[in-house]
Structure 1
């Protein structure tokens, strides 16, 4: 894809109302607004239309994690189907569908009931319809911006405001019915990705403006307006992994090279040797939101929350010192870092003490201090300082612990941070993510911090932490 010329079609602001429900959000009860976001665990707690909640002990196909969510949603939940991650679990009854091939010599195929359709309108008077029927061997999961009953997992873009706070984006480029994933109900529980999702009437309709062609593996195929891109990493997280080239997946599940422009009507070249099967670490870009797919096996072999807590304790056991304020720095569990848990703070003095012990880092050199009043020149500010130890000038930010274990590549010590956000993770994790290119404003592909989606610094994307 030519990033410099890439374009994408923005969807009308009115469509965002299908999920954002701004009026409801303003008038929501205080109890609903105060519900802890961390309580949202995934799809096993989400009512996906007529689907009932599956057995919590049922096999897990995998997990979808939203990039930029460090273990919780960055904004208040505005749909019961929203979460920072979604569990794909075997359903009590099969929910999948498969293409119906009518054969005059096969009475079963003729008698098979059509439950879903894909209609491709080549012209105003010429269209092709592909029928789908119930498939007892698969489960279907659907993702999109719409909150109607056909969608299992709701995703909405966020943007960072001038105040540094994240908010939901008005002009969304994510489709209301973005994509669907079909999982085999028997081992090895393969999951396949398809562009577009069925609506409440079981229909997918591509207009005459959508890219369409007669495919080699199906009668007709097509792409959605802004497309669904997929990146399947090479290797495994345990033995070594590296990113690969991005591809686009079609409505019928075929793989293609990226279009020259994101919303171009000319599809990329078909890649018949490649597959739409999701592997551990796959990235799925919905043109505005990027999801990471982790298999159950991959998560089990990666670092657990217990290991991450042990790494945090290891940092605290070093008793890192601030050489300026002569304080012992502490990392606490949760979204931030401080010496004292918020639950135990009883007065203002204690709160100030906790804040004064929060670790901050000079991003050019990696030296760690607490927030202090040191300045070496009139042009310096609270977030741009000269390190008092090595005299290297650069951004000065508070450190944040990376908490989403699905983004970690290994269980190594917490020794590095992303620049410019200051999220702490292992060295191997930083090396992997700085080489992963993710769509940015549909004009280029850039590396991002997986924990907050901040664009990494072009010159110094990561820094090794140096404790006193």
Structure 2
């Protein structure tokens, strides 16, 4: 979908009802003088009007419980059940189930063009930088949800994160991901060329670091920085392990837990940026097409918004340590 179909955006009340719908209010995006540069279309526009829905669409908290594997729990697998999963540790999570609320209307805002999002919002560029390219989006795909009381319209609440197409929200903790990094580094992965210990950073370091791991994007072997096998014309490097020639990029952990679809070891990386994540996470995002330009779509790394390259958009990492 390109975000053009939405049953709640008609401002003239011409939806077959004799009585005009109650107008809750408006959401106006800063930086636009009444319209988007490409024109307002459907769910993508500079101003959104919140009307009272024909039928209540809100949800309210029902019950919660602790599970060991949230991905296989009944609430997560049920596409008709709204639920939020809070990760406590690698083997424990709290699931909060929600039920229909006849007293509220729910509206969702985000960058995704999937059907649960009522208002599609993209990054705003300053007037003097309209031709610049957004390298890293500041808006989540499912950014937030707004609940408005149908009987008391002045009462509106906004909550972080929105429900996806499966009516789920996954909220992890950055602390858990940092512990995964510590576990990998505790295995003391080595560079097979320099024989030095590699350390996966939590953030990309500026300049060449002796312990910084690099990955060969054509084969997945992880090594340290060295000048062996570099092609003078293309800058590509030949992997000392398998002699595959191709680009090399630094490795860095993807730390935003909201982008993960499961809990596991980060044994894959996005191509070409090198952000590490779990197998299910990279495969999920490699198949999600994000709006690009006025009428194009492309898969991007969720951690840096870099367009994905290669046949798959990701690579399996091969460490020279106990992860093999």
TM-score, L = length of structure 2: 0.56
1:10-49 equivalences in 2 (<5 Å): none
Say whether the 8 Å CA contact 1:146–1:177 is kept in structure 2: no
What residue is the counterpart of 1:205 in the other structure? none
What does the per-residue CA deviation read over 1:267-315, in whole Å, with 9 as the maximum and x for residues that have no partner?
xxxxxxxx9875999754436676422459955x653222211111111
What residue is the counterpart of 1:449 in the other structure? 301
CA deviation after TM superposition for structure 1 residue 444, in Å: 2.8
What residue is the counterpart of 1:310 in the other structure? 179
Say whether the 8 Å CA contact 2:213–2:224 is kept in structure 1: yes
Task: Identify if the C-alpha distance between structure 1 residues 358 and 372 changes in structure 2 by more than 3 Å, giving closer, same or farther.
Answer: same
Residues in 2 aligned to 1:320 and 1:181: alpha-carbon distance in whole angstroms: 56
CA deviation after TM superposition for structure 1 residue 316, in Å: 0.3
Residues in 2 aligned to 1:436 and 1:186: alpha-carbon distance in whole angstroms: 27
CA deviation after TM superposition for structure 1 residue 365, in Å: 0.7
What does the per-residue CA deviation read over 1:363-412, in whole Å, with 9 as the maximum and x for residues that have no partner?
1111111222123433241xx22212111112111112111100000111
CA deviation after TM superposition for structure 1 residue 146, in Å: 4.0
What residue is the counterpart of 2:265 in the other structure? 413
Task: Identify if the C-alpha distance between structure 1 residues 280 and 307 changes in structure 2 by more than 3 Å, giving closer, same or farther.
Answer: farther
Residues in 1 aligned to 2:269 and 2:51: alpha-carbon distance in whole angstroms: 33
Say whether the 8 Å CA contact 1:119–1:129 is kept in structure 2: no
Task: Identify if the C-alpha distance between structure 1 residues 141 and 396 changes in structure 2 by more than 3 Å, giving closer, same or farther.
Answer: farther
Residues in 1 aligned to 2:51 and 2:278: alpha-carbon distance in whole angstroms: 31
Correspondent of 1:368 among 212, 215, 222: 222
Say whether the 8 Å CA contact 1:419–1:463 is kept in structure 2: yes
Residues in 2 aligned to 1:281 and 1:439: alpha-carbon distance in whole angstroms: 9
Q: Secondary structure at the match of 2:194?
A: coil
Correspondent of 1:132 among 22, 26, 44: 22
What residue is the counterpart of 2:102 in the other structure? none
Task: Identify if the C-alpha distance between structure 1 residues 380 and 280 changes in structure 2 by more than 3 Å, giving closer, same or farther.
Answer: closer
Correspondent of 2:252 among 359, 381, 400: 400
CA deviation after TM superposition for structure 1 residue 145, in Å: 3.5
What residue is the counterpart of 2:141 in the other structure? 292
TM-score, L = length of structure 1: 0.40
Say whether the 8 Å CA contact 2:216–2:246 is kept in structure 1: yes
What residue is the counterpart of 1:187 in the other structure? 60
Say whether the 8 Å CA contact 2:28–2:48 is kept in structure 1: yes
Pair 1:325-2:194 in alignment: yes
Pair 1:440-2:309 in alignment: no
Residues in 2 aligned to 1:318 and 1:336: alpha-carbon distance in whole angstroms: 20
Q: Secondary structure at the match of 1:406?
A: helix
* Root-mean-square deviation over aligned CA pairs: 4.7
Residues in 1 aligned to 2:205 and 2:319: alpha-carbon distance in whole angstroms: 15
Say whether the 8 Å CA contact 1:363–1:395 is kept in structure 2: yes
Task: Identify if the C-alpha distance between structure 1 residues 129 and 119 changes in structure 2 by more than 3 Å, giving closer, same or farther.
Answer: farther
Say whether the 8 Å CA contact 2:59–2:106 is kept in structure 1: no
Say whether the 8 Å CA contact 2:38–2:294 is kept in structure 1: no
What residue is the counterpart of 2:279 in the other structure? 427
Q: Secondary structure at the match of 1:424?
A: strand
What does the per-residue CA deviation read over 1:223-247, in whole Å, with 9 as the maximum and x for residues that have no partner?
xxxxxxxxxxxxxx824999x9xxx
Aligned residues: 231
Unaligned runs of 5+ in 1: 7-98, 100-116, 123-127, 135-139, 149-169, 190-236, 245-274, 339-350
Say whether the 8 Å CA contact 2:201–2:212 is kept in structure 1: no
Q: Secondary structure at the match of 1:328?
A: coil
CA deviation after TM superposition for structure 1 residue 450, in Å: 1.0
1:167-178 equivalences in 2 (<5 Å): 175-177=45-47
CA deviation after TM superposition for structure 1 residue 459, in Å: 1.4
Residues in 2 aligned to 1:407 and 1:179: alpha-carbon distance in whole angstroms: 29
Say whether the 8 Å CA contact 2:109–2:162 is kept in structure 1: yes
Please state which structure has a larger fraction of its residues in helix.
Answer: 1
What does the per-residue CA deviation read over 1:89-133, in whole Å, with 9 as the maximum and x for residues that have no partner?
xxxxxxxxxx9xxxxxxxxxxxxxxxxx975499xxxxx994635
Residues in 2 aligned to 1:280 and 1:188: alpha-carbon distance in whole angstroms: 22
Q: Secondary structure at the match of 2:71?
A: coil
